[in-house]
């Protein structure tokens, strides 16, 4: 029995030594990829093993929804709007007889969102086309485009403005993706204003996504002191806030 075990172990170590001398598997260069939201990215990871044995494939940091066939190396992924950004994935090809014998390649997949606006031309003009593209998901949140206080435009860099006791505020929000009016509000000193008027609403596409709107709110008889105005705008991806201090002056007697 001892002789059988001795020969078995000897055979195993000799086999492993032979496998080690054969060299490691190698992966054919994959390279970085780019894909637009909603489109499908497909490619095949291929590797060669000097031993001629079958190679198996795995991946780490595989994004949600992505699939990798462990036998064929076929990769497929249709990213959603929530996956805009850079994704770093490491592919592995390994010898099933000796998992330590593997090859690795790490790639970046850039997922971007793109919107194309067409502006009709007059007469013989062909019109204009504007393409907006980003792979930064925060760029898809609604953004404050402009603020007017009592009819005067205020720089977005301003932190405080002087106003009367009954100021009218206008805020323009825009997004290259969409704005959800249900997630748009104005707070004064932490309290949401119930009466907000939406005007100049611009929509895009068959779904009529709101991409720009103006919200108007009028305050009455504010106490002469500093008040914090907070504008909130959002969609399913996230919410942004913009703060502005209103320094209310007393009415002249």
Same fold for the pair 22-137 and 141-248: yes
Per residue in 121-169, pLDDT tens?
445 455 567 788 999 999 999 999 999 999 999 999 999 999 999 999 9
Q: CA-CA distance, 88 to 60, in Å (whole number)? A: 9
Nearest of 150, 221, 214 to residue 188 by alpha carbon: 221
Confidence of residue 1 (pLDDT cuts 50, 70, 90): low
For tokens 């330590």, the residue is 100
Distance separating alpha carbons of residues 197 and 201, to the nearest angstrom: 11
User: Which CATH number is associated with domain 141-248?
Assistant: 2.60.40.10
- The closest of 174, 173, 169, 162 to 188, measured between CA atoms, is 169
Distance CA(175)–CA(164), nearest Å, equals 31
Return the beta strands (E) in the chain as ranges. 26-27, 33-36, 41-44, 47-48, 55-60, 67-68, 74-77, 85-95, 98-119, 128-134, 143-149, 152-154, 160-163, 168-179, 185-188, 191-192, 197-204, 209-218, 226-235, 238-248
The share of the chain scoring above pLDDT 90, in percent, equals 66
Measured from the Cβ of residue 190, the count of other Cβ atoms closer than 10 Å reads 7
Superfamily of domain 22-137 in the CATH hierarchy: Immunoglobulins (2.60.40.10)
Report pLDDT digits (tens) over 84-110.
Answer: 999 999 999 988 777 677 889 999 999
What is d(CA 248, CA 220) in angstroms, rounded to the nearest whole number?
11
Q: What is the pLDDT of residue 173?
A: 96
How far apart are alpha carbons 161 and 247 in whole angstroms? 6
Q: Please, what is the average pLDDT of the chain?
A: 86
Q: Does the pLDDT value for residue 204 go beyond 80?
A: yes
Q: What are phi and psi of 14, to 5 degrees?
A: -65, -40
26 forms beta bridges with: 48
How does pLDDT run across 53-89, given as a tens digit for each residue? 788 999 999 999 999 999 999 999 999 999 999 999 9
pTM of the model: 0.78
pLDDT digits (tens, 9 = 90+) for 28-55: 899 999 999 999 999 999 998 887 778 8
Can you give the residue ranges of every domain in the chain?
22-137, 141-248
The whole-angstrom separation of Cα 246 and Cα 159 is 9
């Amino acid at each position: 029995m001892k002789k059988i075990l001795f020969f078995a172990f000897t055979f195993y170590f000799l086999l492993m030594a032979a496998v080690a001398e054969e060299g490691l598997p190698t992966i054919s260069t994959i390279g970085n990829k780019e894909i637009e939201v909603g489109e499908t990215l497909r490619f095949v990871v291929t590797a060669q093993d000097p031993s001629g044995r079958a190679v198996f494939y795995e991946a780490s940091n595989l994004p949600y929804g992505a699939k990798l066939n462990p036998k064929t190396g076929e990769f497929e992924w249709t990213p959603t709007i929530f996956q805009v950004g850079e994704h770093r994935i490491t592919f592995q090809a390994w010898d099933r007889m000796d998992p330590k014998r593997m090859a690795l390649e790490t790639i970046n997949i850039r997922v971007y969102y793109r919107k194309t606006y067409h502006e009709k031309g007059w007469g013989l003009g062909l019109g204009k086309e504007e393409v907006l593209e980003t792979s930064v998901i925060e760029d898809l949140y609604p953004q404050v485009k402009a603020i007017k206080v009592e009819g005067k435009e205020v720089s977005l860099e301003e932190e405080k403005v002087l106003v009367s006791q009954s100021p009218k505020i206008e805020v323009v929000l825009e997004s290259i993706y969409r704005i959800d009016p249900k997630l748009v509000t104005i707070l004064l000193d932490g309290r949401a204003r119930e009466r907000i008027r939406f005007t100049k609403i611009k929509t895009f596409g068959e779904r009529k996504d709101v991409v720009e709107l103006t919200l108007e709110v009028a305050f009455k008889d504010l106490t002469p002191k500093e008040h914090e105005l907070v504008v909130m705008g959002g969609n399913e991806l996230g919410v942004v806030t913009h703060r502005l201090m209103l320094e209310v002056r007393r009415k002249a007697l």
